[in-house]
Structure 1
Amino acid sequence: MSDKAVVKNSGGLGETISVIVQALLLALVIRTLLFQPFNIPSGSMRPTLLEGDYLFVSKFSYGYSKYSIPWSPNLFSGRIWSGEPQRGDIAVFRKPSDTSLDFIKRVIGLPGDRIQMRAGVLYINDVAVPREKVGQISNPDVTASNQPVDVYRETLPNGITYDTLDLSPNGYSDDTREFVVPAGHYFMMGDNRDNSSDSRVDASEGGVGYVPLENFIGRANVIFFSIAGRASPLAIWRWPSEIRFDRLLHSVNAAPNSVENN
């Protein structure tokens, strides 16, 4: 009598449910501990980040707080495995006055720093941050303006360099009082200096104010997708004309911004 191979059908509803649950748990672990996707809904970080950019944010860069966990359960206070934000980082955080809102800005002031804007020039501890006009941008997709916009390059004391937009010389936020950053807090600013509600505006006036370390979610690293025209990424019929192919898989500080030299 010949042997017969027996094949067991391992499929079925139970196994399918098990695979789905395992995949969801893995995605939850990755999102909570490693990387979380965010999209840019406003223009406060132009020209570095544009509306329609989709980013991966590293959760482990600054350790973990309750805001690192979905729905922010009040399981513990402060941070565990804490890492300190560095000057020049682009970071996602919860707005102190409304922790249901995620904001993204650049870390400018560290605890104990004195920050002030004077005639559009950033001062840190009474020393002017080097600021050089590098040209203009006339692409409205980058500037959200129908006229050329001046671009200035700043270099922070630790060597981090980035471009800022100057939509309105002598604008409202170009001259400020001196801010002294409290212990355990950070001073955040948008690169689109005349169109950013940030730490230059007190929380009591609808701005960001000083941001506690606990409110940080992570550091923005990579643009993995970018689409213009306020198009949804699900509108695949708009991809050929609206995807910004030159921004895909770029570091947040290396994405092109179309500066035209004068």
Structure 2
Amino acid sequence: MNFALILFLLSVATGILWAADKYVFRKRRAPDARDPLWVEYGASFFPIIIAVFLLRSFLVEPYKIPSGSMIPTLLVGDFILVNKYTYGIRLPVINKKVVELNSPRRGDVMVFRWPVDPSLDYIKRVVGVPGDKIAYLNKQLTINGVKVATRKVDDFLDKDRLYYTPRFVEQLDTVEHSVLLADEAPPFISQTTQFPYRDRCNYNSEGVVCEVPPGHYFMMGDNRDNSQDSRYWGFVPDENIVGKAFFVWFNFSDLKRIGSFH
């Protein structure tokens, strides 16, 4: 469902009703006459709908985490806020960038429209930027020939399954974050698709090596062995970017999660 398009159409429809009432029909009604139903349930909602539309389109947008691909950074059920202007100001609905600001950086957690089906929003971490050579071999991440620094910390406990997974702290440029690496999961990548620029990736029994094309980004989930990401379906083009995730504002199952990510 394209919620931005729905809000836009509602804004237009209620805006027309609001303008028609303000500049035409209100002048024809008696001063003490009751507003008709189309004003009460149509035009009166215009200020609220347009405010939500503008806030959601240009400032921040809420999302709910539906899967465990970003565990342990983001948990299933986390409600997060996404900054919509960090990576440039885009026109709503068509998502065309009109003002250049910052570019995504390695380590950012980014929401984007899934290249395979742009009607779906995904959230992953930026691992490679345009021009990078990304190697993920035997579960070791290397960027432009330099191994990404990691250190082992306490295992992560999945409270739902009562299952422990080895946890490591990884540093992407200036960003430190945790990743999970399951011992029993194989290092190779299976069930890949024929995505654009697939010829820039080389798959083997140890994993994958990719060169990120111009205007694209290589995304990976922090739950490395339980994440369908750029290793499987390819690069994320700049035009698919939605915004940068920066804050957990609620989780019904665990109130301590509030403010746990920034």
* TM-score category of the 2 structures, normalised to the smaller one: 0.7 to 0.9
Q: Which residue of 2 aligns with 1:112?
A: 131
Which residue is equivalent to 1:154?
170
- Residue 171 of structure 1: aligned partner: 186
Given the superposition, is the C-alpha separation of residues 10 and 213 from structure 1 closer, same or farther in structure 2, using an over 3 Å criterion?
Answer: farther
Measure the CA separation in 2 of the matches of 1:9 and 1:176: 75
Per the alignment, residue 213 of structure 1 pairs with 238
RMSD between aligned residues:
2.2
Give the letter for the 1:166 counterpart: L
Which of 234, 254, 257 is matched with 1:244 structurally?
A: 254
CA distance in 2, matches of 1:224, 1:9: 45
Alignment check: 8 A CA contact 1:56 1:223 kept = yes
What are the Cα deviations for residues 204-244 of structure 1, in whole angstroms up to 9, with x where unaligned?
Answer: xxx2x1111111000001111113xxxxxxxxxxxxxxx31
TM-score of the two chains, using structure 2 as the length reference: 0.75
How many residues in Structure 1 have an aligned counterpart in Structure 2? 213
Q: Distance in 2 between matches of 1:153 and 1:10?
A: 67
* 1:171 to partner: Cα distance: 2.3
Supply the distance in 2 between the matched residues of 1:58 and 1:28 (Cα, whole angstroms). Answer: 14
Q: Which sections of structure 2, spanning at least 5 residues, go unmatched? A: 1-30, 190-205
Q: CA deviation at 1:120?
A: 1.3
Matching residue of 2:58: 33
CA shift, 1:149, in A, is 1.2
Shift of 1:176: 1.9
Match of 2:108?
89
Equivalent residues in 2 for 1:120-131, closer than 5 Å: 120-131=139-150
Question: For the structure 1 residues 11 and 46, does the alpha-carbon distance in structure 2 shift closer, same or farther, using more than 3 Å as the test?
Answer: farther
The amino acid that maps onto 2:163 is Q
- Which has more helix, going by share of residues? 2
- Helix, strand or coil for the counterpart of 2:98? coil
SS in structure 2 of the partner of residue 100 of structure 1: coil
Q: Describe the shift of the 1:178–1:22 C-alpha distance in structure 2 as closer, same or farther (beyond 3 A).
A: same
C-alpha change, 1:246 and 1:200, in structure 2 (3 Å) is same
The separation in 2 between residues aligned to 1:28 and 1:103, in whole angstroms, is 21
Query: What is the TM-score of this pair, normalised by structure 1?
Result: 0.75
